[in-house]
Amino acid sequence: MAFSKFNTYIHPTVIEISTLKMFETLQPRIHAILLNTERDRDEKLLAICKLLKSEIPHYDWVGFYFRNGEKEELKLGPYAGAPTDHTIIPFGKGICGQVAVSNANFVVPDVAAQDNYIACSITVKAEIVVPLFVDGKNIGQIDIDSNTPDPFTEADERFLEFVNQEVAKIL
């Protein structure tokens, strides 16, 4: 049996063990970014996006969306990757909009098979969205697009939950 720092049993394969080690080595770097007093909130979030995009091979676009005031919509925050036209997403629309309503992680192994998917790029094959909670309230999410088919595992979910728990501390 192998347990990760995310307190979840994960069947160990060479690839999974490698992925877990990669996520574990990124944890202190996430902490360092968030503790940097010389950066403002958006600079910290952008640094996290850039770190994840550059260090995790199957993360091709990494961004944060936040609830737009009291409106039933999400507004794009800091991100790393190709520019997107999807700067405002209504609740319920697309994967991000569905997560805003469900308050649950959403892993899409094949975006082409998803009815309520908003295409950002023809190269995107998979997506994972994990909600961001502050004081129990869903205030946003981290959104990852991948050009690799079906790359996301439970380890990705646990890692992104960790990222959001840490980010919540500065919001």
Q: Regarding the domain delimited by 14-168, which CATH topology (the fold level of the hierarchy) does it fall under?
A: Beta-Lactamase (3.30.450)
Taking residue 140's Cβ as centre, other Cβ atoms within 10 Å add up to 25
**CB–CB of 79/61 below 8 Å?**
yes
Q: What is the pLDDT of residues 40-89, one digit of tens each?
A: 999 999 999 999 999 999 999 999 999 999 999 999 999 999 999 999 99
pTM assigned to the model: 0.90
Residue 3: pLDDT over 70: no
- What is the per-residue pLDDT for 122? 85
- The structural domains of the chain, with segments of one domain joined by +, span 14-168
Q: How confident is the model at residue 38 (pLDDT cuts 50, 70, 90)?
A: very high
Question: What does the angle CA 79 – CA 21 – CA 158 come to, to the nearest 5 degrees?
Answer: 55
117's CB contacts (< 8 A; 6+ apart) are: 94, 95, 108, 111, 127
Q: What is the pLDDT of residues 76-92, one digit of tens each?
A: 999 999 999 999 999 99
**Phi and psi dihedrals of 41, rounded to 5?**
-55, -50
Q: How confident is the model at residue 120 (pLDDT cuts 50, 70, 90)?
A: confident
